[in-house]
């Protein structure tokens, strides 16, 4: 009988295989005969020579390959939406503001469910944006201290010294008639009380004036206050001129000449202008074309103001106006793709869409009761709206929206009913993201783009980033393993 041993080795285990060569015969006897044995191998014929005892067979390394995890690569040149970190809690009607260090302060809001009931938050969070060239980055953490009062539908503004003022709001118990001062360094909140307290309550509008003071108005009243941050340790409120009509949930925007335009707030067709030099309000002689409660009001780089959409007695308006402060008149501009109200709009100041206005969320005629996912971009030069090919990942209404420090991305957070702790970024710097699957070879791997206008990122795996305005093109991605082996993948990009 001849026995040959072979040893098969890989990185984690060794398997020894005993191979029995020759012929074996077995004999079994039952009962009293018992015993048995193995018949000897025949003596005639050649006998294989035994292999060396330490012979090893190495497993073959699979060939290196890179394959796309997508069927079609698309460049969304008007902007791309991608998810970022989630907040600690669901928030309907929160407030958010960009801090001087590029982080975002998020406060208040409400959460309601049949199972857990309704909760109003004093809780505050800080969002730290991730790398602008990578997806799904960024993080939230709790601020060092919560607000002193829970509130939703409140207004928040960053002061010239980098600290933040919060005014008004509502809860299930009614309107909030208080203000708080946020120290952005120590993350502490101080209530502004006593003779310096605000006279206002409810859903207010606050606007930072050119001299650093703040105009607060509305709350379903004609009242308005001026907040002076230099009066006392934490600033002081004092009454100023009176509105011509009561307003709640109004919009106000600072004009280039230092005045403030006030629109909406259950006000019919009347718009008003506040002059800080006289501390008086006056009606705009030129009326609005229709009631625009819940419209967006955004100043563009020309100094004009875009008023888009709004709720006109249950119908969401599919039109927009431009206000010209040089003549104090309204004129029609391009129409949105659909009627909407209670949306958010922000001016982009950098990137390929610099100077344009992005409109997100709200409610649309005939749409979901949770809001809309549709996004539009308004171009003041052509006075036209373009609906983006990409949409929000969640229905958005009663949410907060902040332009990040780079001026080319906006953060959307909170909302009504679904996904309200989920946040997302609308970026105009990145037009697409495409993932690849790498197999075989020897890690680690190095990625590069050898053809086309794109970048690679390893933050979330093998990922290729398409820059905005790249157009339709061919892209070749190359992977190189630790042994210098190279594999390529070529794909076509279709621009939308």
Task: Please write the tens of the pLDDT for every residue from 319-376.
Answer: 999 999 999 999 999 999 999 999 999 999 998 899 999 999 999 999 999 999 999 9
- How many separate domains does the chain show? 3
Do 291 and 151 sit in the same domain of this protein?
yes
Residue 424 inside a domain? The answer is no
Are 317 and 295 spatial neighbours (Cβ–Cβ below 8 Å)? yes
Residue 332 inside a domain? The answer is yes
CA distance linking residue 92 with residue 276, whole number of Å: 33
Do 131 and 69 sit in the same domain of this protein?
no
| Residue 462 confidence (pLDDT) above 70 | yes
Whole domain around residue 33: which residue ranges?
Answer: 2-58
The model's confidence at residue 488, banded by pLDDT at 50, 70 and 90, is: very high
CA distance linking residue 420 with residue 227, whole number of Å: 32
Give residue 44's pLDDT: 44
The model's confidence at residue 16, banded by pLDDT at 50, 70 and 90, is: very low
Q: Which of 304, 322, 351 marks a domain boundary?
A: 351
First-to-last C-alpha distance (Å) of the chain: 75
| Residue 483 confidence (pLDDT) above 70 | yes
| Residue 43 confidence (pLDDT) above 50 | no
Residue 382 inside a domain? The answer is no
Are 157 and 97 spatial neighbours (Cβ–Cβ below 8 Å)? yes
Q: Rg of the chain over CA atoms, in angstroms?
A: 33
Residue 463 inside a domain? The answer is yes
Are 310 and 282 spatial neighbours (Cβ–Cβ below 8 Å)? no
Which long-range CB contacts under 8 A does 310-318 form with residues at least 24 apart? 310/264, 310/341, 311/341, 311/342, 315/339, 315/365, 316/340, 316/341, 316/362, 316/363, 316/364, 316/365, 317/290, 317/292, 317/341, 318/365
Residue 428 inside a domain? The answer is no
Do 53 and 99 sit in the same domain of this protein?
no
CA distance linking residue 156 with residue 32, whole number of Å: 100
Specify the DSSP class assigned to residue 194.
G
Do 235 and 174 sit in the same domain of this protein?
yes
Span 148-168, mean pLDDT?
98
The strand pair at 315-316 and 320-324 is best described as: unpaired
Query: What are the pLDDT digits (tens) for 108-131?
Result: 999 988 788 899 999 999 999 987
Residue 361 inside a domain? The answer is no
Residue 87 inside a domain? The answer is no
Query: What are the pLDDT digits (tens) for 305-329?
Result: 999 999 988 899 999 999 999 999 9
Do 447 and 307 sit in the same domain of this protein?
no
Tell me which of 204-213, 257-266, 412-421 is least confident: 412-421
Do 133 and 223 sit in the same domain of this protein?
yes
Output 88 or 458, whichever has higher pLDDT.
88
């Amino acid at each position: 009988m001849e026995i040959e041993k072979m040893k098969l080795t890989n990185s984690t285990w060794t398997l020894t295989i005993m191979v029995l060569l020759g012929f074996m015969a077995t004999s079994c006897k039952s009962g009293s005969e018992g015993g048995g044995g193995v018949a000897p191998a025949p003596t005639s014929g050649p006998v294989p020579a035994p292999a060396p005892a330490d012979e090893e067979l190495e497993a073959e390394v699979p060939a290196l390959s890179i394959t796309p995890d997508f069927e079609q690569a698309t460049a969304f040149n008007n902007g791309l939406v991608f998810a970022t970190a989630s907040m600690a809690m669901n928030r309907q009607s929160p407030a958010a503001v960009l801090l001087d260090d590029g982080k975002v302060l998020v406060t208040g809001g409400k959460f309601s469910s049949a199972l857990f009931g309704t909760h109003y938050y004093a809780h505050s969070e800080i969002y730290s944006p991730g790398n602008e060239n990578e997806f799904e980055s960024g993080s939230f953490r709790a601020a060092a201290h919560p607000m002193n009062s829970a509130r939703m539908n409140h207004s928040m503004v960053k002061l010239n010294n980098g600290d933040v003022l919060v005014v008004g709001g509502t809860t299930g118990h009614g309107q909030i008639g208080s203000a708080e001062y946020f120290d952005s360094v120590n993350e502490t909140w101080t209530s502004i009380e006593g003779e310096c307290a605000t006279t206002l309550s409810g859903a207010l509008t606050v606007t930072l004036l050119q001299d650093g003071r703040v105009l607060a108005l509305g709350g379903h009243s004609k009242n308005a206050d001026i907040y002076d941050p230099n009066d006392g340790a934490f600033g002081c409120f004092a009454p100023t001129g009176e509105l011509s009509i009561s307003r709640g949930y109004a919009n106000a925007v600072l004009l280039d000449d230092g005045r403030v335009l006030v629109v909406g707030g259950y006000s019919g067709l009347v718009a008003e202008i506040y002059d800080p030099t006289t501390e008086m309000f006056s009606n705009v002689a030129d009326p609005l074309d229709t009631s625009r409660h819940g419209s967006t009001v955004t100043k563009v780089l020309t100094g004009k103001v875009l008023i888009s959409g709004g709720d006109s007695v249950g119908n969401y308006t599919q039109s927009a106006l431009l206000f010209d402060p040089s003549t104090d008149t309204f004129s029609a501009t391009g129409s949105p793709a659909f009627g909407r109200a209670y949306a958010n709009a922000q001016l982009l100041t950098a990137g390929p869409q610099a100077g344009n206005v992005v409109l997100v969320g709200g409610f649309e005629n005939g749409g979901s009761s949770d809001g809309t996912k549709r996004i539009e971009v308004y171009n003041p030069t052509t006075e036209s709206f373009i609906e983006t090919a990409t949409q929000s990942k969640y229905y958005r209404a009663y949410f907060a929206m902040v332009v990040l420090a780079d001026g080319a991305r906006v953060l959307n957070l909170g909302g009504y009913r679904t996904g309200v702790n989920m946040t997302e970024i609308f970026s105009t710097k990145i037009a697409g993201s495409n993932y690849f699957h790498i197999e075989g070879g020897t890690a680690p791997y190095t990625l590069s783009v050898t053809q086309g206008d794109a970048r690679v990122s390893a933050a979330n795996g093998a990922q290729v980033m398409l820059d905005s305005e790249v157009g339709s093109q061919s892209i070749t991605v190359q992977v190189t393993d630790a042994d210098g082996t190279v594999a390529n993948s070529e794909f076509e990009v279709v621009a939308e």
